[in-house]
Amino acid sequence: MFELLPILMLGLGLGLIHALDADHIMTMSVLNSDKPKLGKSVFFSMYWAMGHSIMLLCVATLLFSFGITVPEYMTDIAEIIVGMMLVGLGCWLLFTFKRKRIVLEEHSHGNIVHRHWHDEEHTAKNTPLLATNAHKPVLVGLLHSFAGSAPAIALIPALAYNEISLVFLYLGAFSMGVMLAMLGFGLGFSYCQRLLSQKFPLCYHYNRQLIALASICVGCVWLTQTA
């Protein structure tokens, strides 16, 4: 049992590091920017990690079981799509600002009158968690497993193991590390967004704009590197 510990620790550690790649963090920041409930943040993070792990295990199965490698042009295409997706997510987030306005509203409770900033949809009912589209984070995770550092940081160390069982044990630990890191980031980011929206609504509003612009910038840089 103890001889498996280095394999598990290596996979878990590299998974934790890989989950914090710029494209992953930027995508999850946009998806979780609208002060979602913590349960919804867990939902996004887990389904993203699930899609990432499924594709990675499929690629590993083709490589280590059948000797089939993924063509380089497919990874190049995935890199381009990831860059375009980051730009698209940023533009989509900016577009949503046109449908929401920050207004100063006055409330009275008896003789007490107070004012506060909020967006026009703050009284709208929250969308049930089960109504959230699960396919979006899964598809994003599938795409990210092709692009970035995933093939190198996950599959190349697996070449050191001769037994197929050890390979998939390592990849399982790697996937667990990715999921844990993304869950931690998603929960922390979501909590900060909710706290900011409650205490400083204007700062929260401009913070989301900065996230959208950052996503567009990262996507543009990503595209220039793949050109």
**DSSP structure class, residue 152:** I
| Domain presence at residue 212 | yes
What pLDDT is recorded for position 108?
59
CA pair distance 27, 215, nearest whole angstrom? 7
Total domains, the chain: 1
pLDDT of the residue at 177: 92
Asked whether residue 166 is assigned to any structural domain, the reply reads yes
Within a domain: residue 129? no
Determine contact, residues 83/222, Cβ cutoff 8 Å.
yes
Residue 33: pLDDT band (50, 70, 90) is: confident
The CA distances from residue 12 to 143, 166, 224, in Å, are 21, 14, 31
Domain with 99 in it: 2-121+135-226
Give just the sign of the alpha carbon dihedral 48, 50, 56, 59.
Answer: negative
Residue 130 lies in a domain: no
CA 227 to chain centre: 24
pLDDT (tens digit per residue) in 48-101? 888 888 888 888 888 887 878 777 788 888 889 889 999 999 998 888 766 555
Residue 207 within a domain: yes
Q: Does 127 fall in a domain? A: no
User: Quick check: is 171 in a domain?
Assistant: yes
Residue-averaged pLDDT of the chain? 78
| Residue 116 token pair | 């506060």
pLDDT digits (tens, 9 = 90+) for 120-149: 444 444 444 434 456 778 888 888 877 766
- Containing H/E element for 206? helix 201-226
User: Do the domain assignments include residue 6?
Assistant: yes
